[in-house]
Amino acid sequence: MAEKVASRDVEDVMGYSESDIVDPAREAAEKALVWKQDRRIVPLCAAIYLLCYLDRSNIGNAKILNQNTHDDLLSETHMTSYQYTIALMVFLIAYALFEVPSNYFLKKLRPSRWIAFLMFSWGATTMGLGGVHNYAQVTGLRFLLGVMEAGLFPGFVYYLTFWYRNSERSMRVALILASATLAGAFGGAIAFGVGHMNGAHGLSAWRWLFIIEGAPSCASAFLVWFLLPDYPETAHWLSAEEKELAADRLSLEGSKGSASSMSWADAKAVLVDWRLYAHYAVYFGISTPFSSLSLFTPAITAGLGYSNLRAQLMTVPPYAVAYVVTVTVAWSADHFNNRGLHSAIFSFIGAMGFLASAVLPADAYLHRYGCLIVAASGAFACIPPLLGWLSSNLRSTAGAGLAIALNVSFGAPGQIVGVWIYKSNEAKKGYPTGHWTNAALLLFVAAGCVLLRLYYGWRNSRGFGDGNGKKFAY
C-alpha cells in the first residue's frame, strides 16, 4: 500500500507516472525493430504505389502525346473530349465501388497475395490499353483498371496499422503517397522519351507508353507475392523476441493479424460513428485537387505556353517539389503529433496557389507555373496527415479496415468532380473553372480540419474522449 501511495505522490508532484518513464533498452529495441520493418515494408510499398499511379495517370500523357501530328490517343480512337472525360470518370466509379470489398479481401486472403493479384491485373489491363481502337474499348478497360486499383491505397493505409503505432503512420503513408508525385515526375519524363518512339514497329508512341508502363507491374507482382510481409506475428525475418515486442507495442493502437474478419457489429460501430463522416467530408474536399492534378497536369502545362513533348517534360518540377514538401510535412506532423493543424495549413497554402492561378492573366505563364508548383505541393502534402489522423482515432482491426476504405470511397465523388473541372475549351483562358474549384475545396478542407481539431480538443478537455476512456489524437 505504501508503495502505491508513494507512486501516486510521484505522479501528482512530478506530473508523470511510472509508465511514462522511458526504458533506454526498450526504446533502443523498438527503434531497431521499426527500422527493420521500414527496410522491408516502406520501399516496397512505395514502389508498388508508384507503378499503380503511373498506370492510372498515364492516360493524361497519352492524350497530348504527339498531338501536333495527330498521333495521339484521341485522334486515333476518334474520341471527343467529352468521351475522354467519361472514360476518366468510369475509372473513378469503379474505384469507389470496389474499395471496401478490396479491404475485406486484403485481410481475408493475406496482404501479399491480394496485392500481388491486384498488381498483375492492373498491369495487364494497362498493357491492354495499348491495343484499343475506339471509345468503348478505352472506357471498358478504364473501368476494369479502376476495379483492380481500387483496393491498393486504402489497403496500404489499413496494412500499416498492423505494423506501426499512430505516431509512426503519417510518415510512412507520406513516403508511399509521395511516390505518386514521383510517378508524376517519372511519367512526364518517360512520356518525353517514349514520344520519340512514334511509329516504331508500326505503333504510335501513346500505345508504347501503355505497354512500357504496364509491363513492370505485371513482372513485379511475382516479387510482391514472395517479398511483401503480411503481419509481424508471421514474419520469418523477425525473431521471437521481436515478434513479442511488435505485439506489445501495438497492443493498444494497432490492428492484429490474428483478429477475425469483420462482423456486422464491427461494421455497425463504424457506420454510426458520426464524427468519422467529418473526416470523410474533408477527404472528399482534397480528392478533387488530387484527381485533377493527376490527370490534367500535362494539359495544364501545355496551356502555360509549352507544347508537344516539352509540355510532358515540364510536368516534372511540380511533382518533384511536391515530393519533398509532402515527406517533410508528414515528418513534422508525426514529430509534433499534430496532424490536423498540418493538414489545415498546407491545404490553405494549396488553395492560395490555385487562387493565384485563377486571378492571374492567362498569358502570365511563368507566374502561373510557379503557382502550379505551390498548388501541387499544398494539395499533396495535406493528405498523409489526414489519413494518419483518421487511423489514429480508430480502435478495432476490422473497424479500421472499413473506415479507411469508406474514407477513400467518399473521396471518389470528389475525384469525379476533378475529372470535369479542367475544360478543354478554357485552355486559352488558363482553366479558371478548375483553379477556382480547387481553391474553394482546399479552403473547405482547411476549415474542416480546424473545426475537427477544435471538436477533438473540446471532447478531450471535458474528459469525454472517444467514449472508451481514450483521448482523441490531434
Cα 145 from chain centre: 17
Best-predicted range by mean pLDDT (24-33, 262-271, 391-400): 24-33
| Percent of the residues in the chain that have a pLDDT greater than 70, as a whole number | 88
Residue 91 lies in a domain: yes
For the question of whether the overall pTM of this predicted structure is more than 0.85, the answer is no
Report CA torsion sign: 251, 254, 259, 265: positive
- What is the average pLDDT value for the chain, to the nearest integer? 84
The answer on pLDDT for 303 being more than 70 is no
Rounded distance, CA 199 to CA 201, Å?
6
Helices (H), 110-165: 111-129, 135-149, 152-160
Quick check: 152 and 405 in contact, CB under 8 A?
no
Residue 167 lies in a domain: yes
Helices (H), 15-80: 24-64, 73-77
Average pLDDT over residues 353-367: 89
Measured between alpha carbons, how far is residue 353 from residues 245, 259, 357, 369 in Å?
Answer: 45, 44, 6, 10
Give the CATH number, domain containing residue 382.
1.20.1250.20
Report CA torsion sign: 60, 63, 66, 72: positive
Number of domains in the chain: 1
Residue 352 lies in a domain: yes
**Residue 112: count of CB within 10 angstroms of its CB:** 18
Q: Which domain holds residue 129?
A: 40-228+263-461
Least confident of 123-137, 260-274, 276-290, 449-463: 260-274
147-178 tens-digit pLDDT: 999 888 888 888 888 888 877 877 888 788 78
The answer on pLDDT for 254 being more than 60 is no
Residue 193 lies in a domain: yes
pLDDT of residue 451: 94
Rounded distance, CA 411 to CA 281, Å?
8
pLDDT of residue 35: 94
Residue 299 lies in a domain: yes
Least confident of 25-29, 117-121, 233-237, 295-299: 295-299
Residue 8 lies in a domain: no
pLDDT of residue 6: 41
Residue 429 lies in a domain: yes
Residue 19 lies in a domain: no
pLDDT of residue 433: 93
pLDDT of residue 469: 63
Rounded distance, CA 359 to CA 105, Å?
47
